[in-house]
């Protein structure tokens, strides 16, 4: 079975893809199915839908790990399912505490009035903190597998480039510039900034930069450790998409980015696929329309209603044919890479029962 082979020996499963394709649901479904197979699984999710967060027992704030009651396991070894939601600010705070040379230095940075705004605004911070939290949980050794639901981003490379962006910020010229000897309020060029921002702002900014001094190597080392984990044979990337042109193009782009960086690609998960009832030729849909309308008439359905129902089914089949063509195009682009399909369900997935159904489809579809 495809997913069984892909996940064998993996400690980290990264679900990546465009926003709105069901990454969170797929991540939760993977964790639920693995737990049902006797694995200690944890799902690290990013901003889940409110009802799904409720089903996983996640509060509105904080990043504590919560046990999820996914139901009895009647056969095989007993596993466990846990879930936590990323709080990027708390993760950044913990990273500062770990990398600061002393507790006093860490408290000075955390208490700095500019730190909160800077840590939230730096490019790539949210994506990096997702990976930092993943690293924390992985090194704890409490879980057999951690499934990461990555942040939705406009550019697939934001996630892959986040470690470099954060270290460039911490060791960047802007912060080092503030540490240069002689950079004091009132000097040429700084006087104008002083008049606009005020002496207090300049002092806070200089103190923040001074606080980060000496932490550059620690941040760079941690970024390297996170990057090494993502590139190791303990990790696999699953690209989640839907059978529509734009999300498939983004998935293809992300797949190429993984290849260029030699990161472990496990497979594509195509979510929300319309099931097909007949072949893809237009003539087959015409026959489907006539056959459906005739069957409904024979069952006593009034002719106008039978006609509309037949048209709806034909329209649905056209969507299924479109999905099949788009998936075939994806298969041609990625060659022999595994593709797992999950059908479009007739209900929204917002509880553990729905999550479990998606998990069963994932592994059944990969057989």
Nearest to 68 by CA among 117, 16, 27: 27
- Whether residues 44 and 81 fall in one domain: yes
Query: Could you read off the pLDDT of 91-128 as tens digits, one per residue?
Result: 989 989 998 888 988 998 898 887 877 777 665 678 88
- Whether residues 67 and 147 fall in one domain: yes
- Whether residues 317 and 234 fall in one domain: no
Reported pTM: 0.83
- 59 domain residue, yes or no: yes
**Range(s) of the domain holding residue 256:** 2-103+118-157+230-274+344-365
Nearest to 274 by CA among 249, 252, 246, 243: 243
CA–CA dist 316, 292 (Å, integer): 13
- 216 domain residue, yes or no: no
Stretch (H or E) spanning 238: strand 235-241
Cβ distance 63 to 87 under 8 Å?
yes
**Domain harbouring 65, CATH code:** 3.40.50.300
pLDDT at 174 over 90: no
- 70 domain residue, yes or no: yes
CA–CA dist 125, 303 (Å, integer): 60
CA–CA dist 220, 90 (Å, integer): 19
How many domains, the chain?
2
- Whether residues 24 and 64 fall in one domain: yes
Strand 40-45 with 80-85, pairing: parallel
Query: Could you read off the pLDDT of 200-236 as tens digits, one per residue?
Result: 665 676 677 777 777 778 888 888 899 899 999 999 9
- 222 domain residue, yes or no: no
pLDDT at 279 over 70: no
- Whether residues 287 and 270 fall in one domain: no
- Whether residues 355 and 293 fall in one domain: no
- Whether residues 253 and 313 fall in one domain: no
Alpha helices per DSSP H over the chain: 2-7, 23-36, 50-55, 88-99, 103-111, 115-121, 125-140, 157-170, 173-178, 190-197, 199-212, 216-231, 245-260, 282-298, 303-334, 352-365
- 192 domain residue, yes or no: no
Confidence of residue 283 (pLDDT cuts 50, 70, 90): low
Confidence of residue 183 (pLDDT cuts 50, 70, 90): very low
Query: Could you read off the pLDDT of 45-101 as tens digits, one per residue?
Result: 987 777 788 878 888 788 999 999 876 665 556 889 999 998 988 998 998 999 888
- 355 domain residue, yes or no: yes
Q: Residue 271: count other Cβ atoms within 10 Å of its Cβ.
A: 26
- Whether residues 149 and 16 fall in one domain: yes
- Supply the mean pLDDT for the chain: 81
pLDDT score, position 175: 53
Query: Could you read off the pLDDT of 124-172 as tens digits, one per residue?
Result: 678 888 888 999 999 999 999 999 998 876 666 777 888 777 777 666 5
- Whether residues 309 and 249 fall in one domain: no
Cβ distance 320 to 275 under 8 Å?
yes
- 225 domain residue, yes or no: no
- Whether residues 128 and 70 fall in one domain: yes
- 217 domain residue, yes or no: no
Cα dihedral 24, 27, 29, 30 in deg (nearest 10)? 170
194 vs 299: which has the higher pLDDT: 299
- Mean pLDDT (whole number) for 295-324: 81
Strand 80-85 with 66-68, pairing: antiparallel
290 vs 222: which has the higher pLDDT: 222
Confidence of residue 329 (pLDDT cuts 50, 70, 90): very high
Within 8 A by CB and 6+ apart from 54, the residues are none
């Amino acid at each position: 079975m495809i997913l069984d082979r892909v996940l064998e020996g993996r400690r980290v499963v990264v679900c990546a893809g465009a926003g709105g394709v069901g990454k969170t649901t797929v991540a939760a479904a993977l964790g639920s199915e693995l737990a049902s197979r006797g694995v200690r699984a944890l799902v690290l999710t990013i901003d889940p839908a409110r009802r799904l967060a409720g089903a996983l027992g996640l509060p509105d704030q904080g990043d504590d790990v919560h046990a999820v009651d996914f139901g009895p396991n009647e056969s095989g070894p007993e596993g466990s399912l846990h879930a936590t939601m990323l709080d990027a600010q708390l993760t950044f705070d913990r990273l500062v505490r770990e990398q600061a040379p002393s507790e006093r230095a860490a408290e000075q940075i955390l208490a700095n009035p500019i730190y909160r705004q800077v840590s939230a605004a730096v490019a790539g911070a949210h994506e990096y903190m997702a990976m930092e939290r993943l690293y924390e949980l992985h090194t704890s050794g409490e879980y057999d597998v951690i499934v990461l639901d990555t942040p939705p981003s406009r550019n697939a490379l934001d996630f892959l480039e986040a470690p470099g962006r954060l270290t460039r910020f911490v060791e960047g010229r802007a912060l080092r510039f503030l540490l240069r000897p002689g950079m004091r309020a009132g000097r040429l060029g700084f006087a104008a900034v002083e008049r606009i921002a005020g002496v207090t702002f300049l002092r806070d900014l200089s103190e923040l930069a001074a606080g980060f001094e000496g932490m550059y190597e620690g941040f760079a080392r941690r970024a390297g450790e996170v990057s090494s984990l993502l590139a190791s044979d303990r990790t696999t990337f699953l690209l989640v998409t839907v059978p529509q042109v734009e999300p498939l193009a983004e998935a293809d782009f992300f797949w190429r980015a993984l290849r260029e960086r030699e990161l472990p690609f496990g497979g594509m998960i195509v979510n929300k696929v319309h099931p097909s009832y007949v072949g893809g030729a237009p003539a087959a849909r015409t026959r489907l329309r006539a056959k459906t309308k005739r069957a409904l008439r024979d069952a006593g359905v009034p002719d106008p209603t039978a006609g509309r129902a037949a048209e709806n089914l034909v329209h649905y089949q056209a969507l299924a044919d479109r999905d099949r063509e788009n998936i075939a195009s994806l298969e041609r682009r990625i060659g022999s890479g595994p593709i797992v399909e999950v059908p479009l369900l007739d209900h929204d997935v917002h509880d553990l029962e729905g999550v479990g159904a998606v998990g069963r489809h994932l592994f059944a579809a990969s057989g």
